[in-house]
Amino acid sequence: MDIKAEILDYISCNETTGALLLTGPWGCGKSYLLKQIAKELNDERKAAVAVISLFGLDSISAMNKRVKDEYMAFKLGTMGKAARKVSKGFATLAKDGLAVAGVATPGAPGLAAASQGLSSVLSYDIFGFIEVQNSVGNDDKKRKFILAFDDLERCGICNKQDLLGAINDFVENKQIKVIIVADEAKIGDEGYKEYKEKLISRTIRMSADYHLLIDSIVENYNEANKGYKVFLIENSDLLKQVFFESNTSNIRTLKCILEDFERVYAAWKETNVPTDNMKWALYTFGAEVFLSKTPKKEEAASKKASSSIFGQEKEKQYVYKGKNRSAFSSCGQWINYGIWDKERFIDELNSKYLEKDETPLYRFLTYGFWDLRQQDIDDGLPQAVQLAYDGKLSKDQLITLIGKVHALNENAISLPVDVDYQKIEAGFDKRFNEIQKGTANEPKSHTFIEKSGVDEGALDLLRKIERFDDRIVAAENRSTYLHFLSGDDMVSYYSLKGSYVEEFDDEWLTLFIEKYESADNSSKRELALSLLGMVYDFNLYSTAENIQHTKENFGKLAKHLEKMDTGDNITKIINKSFVREIINKFDNE
């Protein structure tokens, strides 16, 4: 069935015997098709089609107000544009010398008002005397006024009989063509079926030709960035593939994918990165959007299907997902959390695709598992493992390493070298210490991995990796404090209050005592407050061992303060108060 032809036939027919119902499941393209038809007819001035969403409307009067808004928009020549002030339209009519009576029914109060001038007309409730008719314009410019009500099943008017009765008034009493769009399966009102027979004269059940529908969506896409529409047309086959692989029949989600990926397209075009792999990025982006909307039960079932990377249901479902390194964590962040970071995306893009010396090591640490060659495993893996032992891999590189080692083991691919996770953990600790001291820099992290994606022997390492970003924050807070202790500027209590650190360590204790002993009384008080105001026991930053070490060092500090030999009574009071606060904070009695 040619659904578009059926709708146009209903509109063109001069007889009005009832409304037309267009039904089908959510996301099948009903609304899109109707809006396309309305746009064509309105642009060509063959009819005046008002598309009104009933979603959220909670009263018949609100619906009638929307109908009158749309009718007046056509009557005043605004071609269905939303919510133009009717009073402004009347002013335009008056200015052009047209009669106000042209938009009011004979005998209505507006006619009497018109004779007293424009200001008198505007003092009336204009919508009170507007009569919606089945046509707009005059003579050769006369067009049928068509009402199309969308989202019937999501209307806030609880009694669907009342709603259908109000719609029927337009059909039966005003002889207006009415099209209703709804997913009948979602309408639970018992009275709907009974009243439907009185209102609906023709029902079209939409089982969309998705190939044609997607072509239409792409061809009619209103691009904001030049060239994007051509890019979509050239890759429409990939769009269709990811759509059909999703098994959702959800055109609305596909449209969102096109709209959102345009931002990715625009950012990519600003760089010098070749666009050869942009089509795979579009496909992967689409797959990730569809996956983000997968119901939890289906997702859980998919995970249980197979533990093998090659057997994952999701990998089977989207065959090109991640092809040519087309998965970007910055895009994943946007899809799942609504946070778009253009600079992060461009950094990832440059890292992936700008020309580099693609050694086996580089390929092993940056390419997707499916894109590896045997040489990358034979030569790249041993080098990566040695760098991990030496503490030379970043957090993201380390996650990549242990993830790929797990994948190789899962699929019975021999490793060219033994992997000692304890040595890797020691190397990771070494790297953290260097970062703490400022002798190493850690790039911004983008990569994550689940427990199921690593070997059992790597779980302790994974826990450290998961805490790494928080440890970096704590290390930066510690570094800030130690910077103050080693310089001439006095540390500010308020600038550090509430800052999280891992522990009050030995180096910190030594530096603090040196600074405290040489400070004047006012500075001693400030130093005491700043040290006590920091947080040493938050579980994201501090382990039980960290907390115990902190308590021990504060105990040492308290004993040192008690033994300080000073003849200054003010200093004695400050020290005594400081010791008391340490005992209260850490219960070191």
Q: Is the pLDDT reported for residue 361 higher than 90?
A: yes
Q: For residues 353 and 325, what is the distance between their CA atoms, to the nearest angstrom?
A: 9
Look at residue 471 in the predicted model and tell me its pLDDT. 80
Partnered with residue 53 across adjacent β-strands are 150
The region of weakest confidence among 125-129, 220-224, 350-354 is 125-129
> What are the CB-based long-range contacts (under 8 Å, 24+) for 480-486?
481/508, 481/530, 481/534, 482/507, 482/508, 482/511, 485/511, 485/512, 485/514, 485/515, 486/511
- State the CB neighbour count (10 A cutoff) for residue 470: 16
State which H helix or E strand residue 521 sits in.
Answer: helix 521-532
Look at residue 58 in the predicted model and tell me its pLDDT. 85
Look at residue 155 in the predicted model and tell me its pLDDT. 86
- pLDDT (mean) for 351-365: 85
Q: For residues 380 and 416, what is the distance between their CA atoms, to the nearest angstrom?
A: 10
Query: Do 60 and 221 meet the contact criterion of CB atoms below 8 Å apart?
Result: no
Partnered with residue 179 across adjacent β-strands are 20, 148
Q: Is the pLDDT reported for residue 110 higher than 80?
A: no
38, 24, 35: which is closest to 209 by C-alpha? Answer: 24
341, two tokens: 């970071």
Look at residue 489 in the predicted model and tell me its pLDDT. 66
Share of the chain above pLDDT 70, in %: 84
Three-state secondary structure call for residue 85: coil
- pLDDT (mean) for 567-577: 90
280, two tokens: 């795979």
Dihedral sign for Cα atoms in the order 312, 314, 317, 320: negative
> What are the CB-based long-range contacts (under 8 Å, 24+) for 530-533?
530/481, 530/491, 530/492, 530/493, 530/496, 530/497, 531/504, 532/578, 532/581, 532/582, 532/585, 533/493, 533/496, 533/497, 533/498
Interhelix angle 210-219/251-269, nearest 10 degrees: 40
Higher pLDDT, 468 or 551: 551
Look at residue 306 in the predicted model and tell me its pLDDT. 36
pLDDT digits (tens, 9 = 90+) for 64-109: 999 998 998 888 874 434 444 444 544 444 444 344 444 444 444 4
Q: For residues 427 and 523, what is the distance between their CA atoms, to the nearest angstrom?
A: 40
Look at residue 129 in the predicted model and tell me its pLDDT. 56
Look at residue 375 in the predicted model and tell me its pLDDT. 95
Query: Do 210 and 52 meet the contact criterion of CB atoms below 8 Å apart?
Result: no
pLDDT digits (tens, 9 = 90+) for 27-48: 677 888 889 899 999 999 999 9
Q: For residues 315 and 399, what is the distance between their CA atoms, to the nearest angstrom?
A: 20
111, two tokens: 């006619």
Look at residue 120 in the predicted model and tell me its pLDDT. 44
Partnered with residue 202 across adjacent β-strands are 20
Enter the pTM of the model.
Answer: 0.50
Q: For residues 364 and 380, what is the distance between their CA atoms, to the nearest angstrom?
A: 6
Q: How confident is the model at residue 502 (pLDDT cuts 50, 70, 90)?
A: confident
pLDDT digits (tens, 9 = 90+) for 388-429: 999 999 998 999 999 999 999 999 999 999 999 999 999 999
The region of weakest confidence among 224-233, 321-330, 488-497 is 488-497
Q: For residues 237 and 20, what is the distance between their CA atoms, to the nearest angstrom?
A: 33
Give CA angle at 325 (324, 331), nearest 5°.
130
Higher pLDDT, 196 or 306: 196
Q: How confident is the model at residue 185 (pLDDT cuts 50, 70, 90)?
A: confident
Q: Is the pLDDT reported for residue 142 higher than 80?
A: yes
DSSP string, 397-463: HHHHHHHHHHHHHHTTPPPSS---HHHHHHHHHHHHHHHHHTSS--PPP-----GGGS-GGGHHHHH
Q: Is the pLDDT reported for residue 530 higher than 80?
A: yes
State which H helix or E strand residue 150 sits in.
Answer: strand 143-150
Look at residue 492 in the predicted model and tell me its pLDDT. 63
- The end-to-end CA distance of the chain, in Å, is 86
Look at residue 486 in the predicted model and tell me its pLDDT. 80
* Mean per-residue pLDDT over the chain, rounded: 82
Share of the chain above pLDDT 90, in %: 43
Q: Is the pLDDT reported for residue 303 higher than 80?
A: no
Q: For residues 557 and 164, what is the distance between their CA atoms, to the nearest angstrom?
A: 80
